[in-house]
Structure 1
């Protein structure tokens, strides 16, 4: 058995490389899952607040006040973007848009992380012998 100059076998180096690749893939997938869960949670809270406002929930209730406060914190500044005369429509448009932005933001961020942080596909390197082209101009092409 022939050893490489570093003292390790080629098989051990390949296994080490595969282990690093697997660890990186696992870390990226965990990060993307956490980002997706957080963005989805914010969108669900905004949707719950919309449902509570449309359903005329008691604003002094503990759950309703918690959801209202949480929704105010994650509304991304869309609070006064649309100002229709109806307060229910205002909440529907402003917080509905914020919920859609949170979902879109989660998708874009996870897509970018996966695109740039995951290792690319393993492609075998192929060497192809190139034929020299005939320099005769009379030859058909």
Structure 2
């Protein structure tokens, strides 16, 4: 079986066939201001991630408390007691804000409002961190 001659247009992207190694382009060193900018952006991202995680954790604990109360979980259980204590600590004072006739509705409204406020706090803090901590746009040097 014979193979056709290679087409130079199709093989031009292949590495050098002559046995000579092609020189690799040397990476240009980053300017110090680029390194500082990259470090600052990385630090801001880590701070925003931490804020999002903590606020979301508080909201999830409040939602767990709502689910446990609506499902009539045993309050003497260790997990239910832990969630109850944690959720009362992060409820932002919303514990007695709404006072409907049903205790389940009171937990749903009070802790639900606190969970929503935690998500709003997360969004506001992330906006403020991004707005004031990140460097501005690059200005090309003349």
Matched positions, count: 115
TM-score normalised to the size of structure 1?
Answer: 0.78
Task: Tell me the equivalent position of 1:113.
Answer: 129
Consecutive unaligned residues of structure 2, counting only runs of 5 or more, are 1-27
TM-score normalised to the size of structure 2?
Answer: 0.77
**CA deviation vs aligned residue, 1:31-71 (integer Å, no higher than 9, x gap):** 00000000000000000000000000000000000000000
**CA deviation vs aligned residue, 1:65-119 (integer Å, no higher than 9, x gap):** 0000000000000000000010000000000000000001001001100001101
The runs of at least 4 aligned residues of structure 1 exceeding 3 Å deviation read 123-126
CA RMSD of aligned residues (A): 1.5
Task: Tell me the equivalent position of 1:98.
Answer: 114
Q: After TM superposition, give the deviation of residue 20 of structure 1 in Å.
A: 0.4
SS at match of 2:31: helix
Residues in 1 aligned to 2:76 and 2:106: alpha-carbon distance in whole angstroms: 20
SS at match of 1:76: coil
Matched, 1:22 2:14: no
Q: After TM superposition, give the deviation of residue 125 of structure 1 in Å.
A: 6.5
Residues in 1 aligned to 2:36 and 2:122: alpha-carbon distance in whole angstroms: 26
